[in-house]
Chain A
């Protein structure tokens, strides 16, 4: 088949990464973005967020004329065969999913399809609670287009599993592709697109119903959140046992094939734009079905309490916090991204500010975003070393590579009171605790 042209509605994180990857393989891609500034910046070759490798690739596909960003969904849809919906799906204050962007984009798509003669395929890539695609997307599009799903247009759910910081690689080499299909024709068409995209490297594919595909995305993320809260709980037990160390436990259980070593790093908890929001949304959704998922509640509770441990550790070490200078290394919710949505650092810093501490922070990528969050409430350093200067205590909150290179001497030389709380277990406890005051998540008193 001649490669279909592709449109993408919502050019945020997922939308732009998907667009750029398709365009890089020669597909004609048009993205739409309601935010004028974002759209302009994309057309100039500057991604509105940081992602390794993205800027280069974006500039390449713009030069090759395979990608452009427009301001209306209509323009994108009328000029393409297939549309991915990648708008945001945040939480409402009560934790339930906020579908306003989904509803709006479905309406725009419906209105555009009304003017289109040929068959069009739609795929929902945004994470949505089970039933949304059938009950809201399909119903809205049918209403505004006057056309029938399964006949005039096709509909699939195609959850996205990319990880920020690794997005391009993940899009090119996914573990598997999930296609939830409204009808067989939609699923066949969609599978064909991926077949021609991946060819010999086609990953395993699972075709299922719309609600099952929607649930798979949540189940996947909640499992990962569960793994993290699980190991954090083991870490909290370890802290109370002399000689125990959660990194040893994680390594040993990770060798069990039924467990696996990934996502078993104890730390300050999960953050970011996906796990916290998806855990909340599925809890809320499940309750709306009359089922209280007590495990997921517990996963969330453990995660909420986890950052507070550093505050407690800080208090025990420094006795009282008012006036003390705390160096925060790492602000992004994880390394290799500038994303600070639901970052653990925010909760830690706000708590410390409440206690009257002074904060100096440094992150290799997230400084601009941090200024938007904290304004003048904290000080900003322009290197790790500068951040440590004169500090009474340093909390390591994000495990960036460059922080792993710091030696005990770096801390001793620059800090007023060389004390580290290793929130991500990147330092060797033996080496560090011989030379300075060292506390870490999941580390019992050394014996």
Chain B
């Protein structure tokens, strides 16, 4: 979408014909701020078109990006089936082309995949030589769901892993045309390094989160300590940096959990146990349950208590529920026979698919907390930040609040409500 809106002609290919139909009608199959608008514009200018037919698509273009999913297998290792299938169809399309074409792997793949999986499949199916007849690059994507469009237009840096110089030059030129004056710093390296860069990046951010959650867990055991003050203070150290230091209920989503696990499995397959990354995932797996612990501390036995859940998506500004901490929390509360009513500004449809009739759904935050015994803030949506102690006092049976994301003014809430928070 971002490419199309800068005048590039783009063809989207997906095997899911439902998705293709939706997109061509101007409906994005998931929520992302600003996306629908850009999509309409691009379709209007006939710069974007979506199809299920790869051959047709590739023939007209000079660069193809592979952005298929790379989920985890049950043992945590990476599932490369989609990458393999996409490589096959690209290879077949390349066979009929007679000009140089660059294949770019944007999906997150473990080191060696592009060289050992993508390249041989494309070569075999196309009958062409990588390097002389087609180019091959790895170009990891660092966008964040919820600010995807902004991130694509203003990346901190572009990483290009190149099979050979020509491939790298072609992709760099492509980005220079795209970004013009505002070209971000670029790092050109080999395929393996750029594959590992993406994992290292995500694993480090996950580490930051589990680190600050560990500090939060220490703070909870110390009278007078507050993780927010600690995070703010250490964030002022320029060796630390203030971002990704919010204590809470842990990271979720489609990337961090999967990528940290894939890195661990990959590293083990090389005979090296990355114990720090393992500890990071363990801390994260335990962290959502803190919400339930705090609820029990605050209101005692949860059986038949009405618990209002504010926020279900794994982070604000998305409807994505993949690996969201809310899933663990809600299931654990159900196990304790609590009664759940939930509200999320965007993720209600996805939530209904997961929980069905096991929980109730509210149509606003206020309706959600009505008559509740306890309210747990799981996702830090802006609309929830605006709630005042008075709102909880007025609508809840008793104003008992668990702030799982540290969005409320501690002093104000402690004065007027029964309030507990992560890292307080």
Min distance, Cβ A363 to any Cβ of chain B, angstroms:
25
How far, in whole Å, are A208 and B219 apart by their CA atoms in the complex?
A: 14
17 further interface pairs, Cβ-Cβ under 8 Å (given A243-B191, A262-B239, A289-B218): A131-B222, A175-B236, A215-B230, A222-B211, A223-B211, A224-B240, A238-B196, A240-B270, A240-B271, A248-B197, A251-B187, A252-B194, A260-B239, A290-B221, A294-B283, A295-B210, A298-B276
Minimal Cβ-Cβ distance residue in A for B110:
A241
Asked if B143 lies at the interface with its beta carbon under 8 angstroms from chain A, I say no
- Binary CB contact string for chain B from 150 to 161 against chain A (1 if under 8 A, 0 otherwise): 000000110100
Tell me which residues across on chain A come within 8 A of B354, comparing CB atoms. Answer: none
Min distance, Cβ A181 to any Cβ of chain B, angstroms:
11
Min distance, Cβ A178 to any Cβ of chain B, angstroms:
6
Question: Which among A215, A251, A259, A299 is the interface contact of B205 at CB below 8 angstroms?
Answer: A259
Asked if B226 lies at the interface with its beta carbon under 8 angstroms from chain A, I say yes
Query: In the complex the two chains form, is A216's CB within 8 Å of B230's CB?
Result: yes
Which of B197, B274, B278 has the most CB atoms of chain A within a 10 A radius of its CB? Answer: B197
Total interface residues in chain A, CB < 8 Å: 64
- Which residues of B (12-62) have their CB < 8 Å from a CB of A? none
Minimal Cβ-Cβ distance residue in A for B191:
A243
Query: In the complex the two chains form, is B221's CB within 8 Å of A289's CB?
Result: yes
Question: Which among B142, B233, B279 is the interface contact of A297 at CB below 8 angstroms?
Answer: B279
Question: Which among A219, A230, A257, A259 is the interface contact of B234 at CB below 8 angstroms?
Answer: A219
Total interface residues in chain B, CB < 8 Å: 64
How far, in whole Å, are A131 and B276 apart by their CA atoms in the complex?
A: 28
Query: In the complex the two chains form, is B222's CB within 8 Å of A298's CB?
Result: no
Query: In the complex the two chains form, is B207's CB within 8 Å of A212's CB?
Result: no
Query: In the complex the two chains form, is A244's CB within 8 Å of B192's CB?
Result: yes
**With known contacts A230-B203, A240-B270, A294-B279, A215–B241 Cβ distance under 8 A:** no
How far, in whole Å, are A301 and B283 apart by their CA atoms in the complex?
A: 17
**Selected A-B contacts with CB under 8 Å, 30 pairs:** A175-B237, A175-B238, A176-B233, A208-B226, A208-B233, A209-B224, A212-B225, A212-B226, A215-B219, A215-B225, A219-B215, A223-B211, A223-B234, A229-B276, A233-B274, A237-B196, A237-B270, A241-B192, A244-B111, A244-B193, A248-B197, A252-B197, A258-B205, A258-B208, A258-B244, A263-B239, A289-B218, A295-B214, A296-B214, A297-B279
Query: In the complex the two chains form, is A241's CB within 8 Å of B211's CB?
Result: no
Asked if B178 lies at the interface with its beta carbon under 8 angstroms from chain A, I say no
Tell me which residues across on chain B come within 8 A of A212, comparing CB atoms. Answer: 224-226, 229-230
Query: In the complex the two chains form, is A295's CB within 8 Å of B239's CB?
Result: no
Query: In the complex the two chains form, is B276's CB within 8 Å of A208's CB?
Result: no
How far, in whole Å, are A206 and B237 apart by their CA atoms in the complex?
A: 12
Question: Which among B193, B200, B210, B278 is the interface contact of A245 at CB below 8 angstroms?
Answer: B193
How far, in whole Å, are A233 and B266 apart by their CA atoms in the complex?
A: 13
Query: In the complex the two chains form, is A220's CB within 8 Å of B192's CB?
Result: no
How far, in whole Å, are A215 and B214 apart by their CA atoms in the complex?
A: 12
- Binary CB contact string for chain B from 230 to 253 against chain A (1 if under 8 A, 0 otherwise): 101110111111011000000000
Asked if B173 lies at the interface with its beta carbon under 8 angstroms from chain A, I say no
Query: In the complex the two chains form, is B197's CB within 8 Å of A242's CB?
Result: no
Query: In the complex the two chains form, is A298's CB within 8 Å of B275's CB?
Result: yes
Question: Which among A176, A293, A301 is the interface contact of B237 at CB below 8 angstroms?
Answer: A176
Asked if B189 lies at the interface with its beta carbon under 8 angstroms from chain A, I say yes
Tell me which residues across on chain A come within 8 A of B187, comparing CB atoms. Answer: 248, 251-252, 255
Query: In the complex the two chains form, is A259's CB within 8 Å of B111's CB?
Result: no
How far, in whole Å, are A223 and B159 apart by their CA atoms in the complex?
A: 26
Asked if B204 lies at the interface with its beta carbon under 8 angstroms from chain A, I say yes
Query: In the complex the two chains form, is A257's CB within 8 Å of B241's CB?
Result: yes
Minimal Cβ-Cβ distance residue in A for B276:
A298
Residues of B within 8 A of A (CB): 111-112, 142, 156-157, 159, 185, 187, 189-194, 196-197, 200-201, 203-205, 207-208, 210-211, 214-215, 217-219, 221-226, 229-230, 232-234, 236-241, 243-244, 263, 266-267, 270-272, 274-280, 282-283
The main secondary structure of chain B at its interface with chain A is helix
Asked if A269 lies at the interface with its beta carbon under 8 angstroms from chain B, I say no
**With known contacts A255-B185, A257-B243, A259-B205, A206–B223 Cβ distance under 8 A:** no
Question: Which among A208, A248, A260 is the interface contact of B229 at CB below 8 angstroms?
Answer: A208
Minimal Cβ-Cβ distance residue in B for A260:
B241
How far, in whole Å, are A262 and B215 apart by their CA atoms in the complex?
A: 21
Query: In the complex the two chains form, is B200's CB within 8 Å of A253's CB?
Result: yes
Min distance, Cβ A364 to any Cβ of chain B, angstroms:
25
Query: In the complex the two chains form, is A302's CB within 8 Å of B215's CB?
Result: no
Min distance, Cβ B158 to any Cβ of chain A, angstroms:
10
Tell me which residues across on chain B come within 8 A of A237, comparing CB atoms. Answer: 196, 263, 266-267, 270, 272, 274
- Leading 10 A-B pairs by shortest Cβ distance: A258-B243, A298-B279, A176-B236, A255-B157, A262-B239, A209-B224, A240-B270, A289-B221, A298-B276, A260-B241
Query: In the complex the two chains form, is B241's CB within 8 Å of A249's CB?
Result: no
Tell me which residues across on chain A come within 8 A of B111, comparing CB atoms. Answer: 241, 244
Asked if A118 lies at the interface with its beta carbon under 8 angstroms from chain B, I say no
How far, in whole Å, are A176 and B235 apart by their CA atoms in the complex?
A: 10
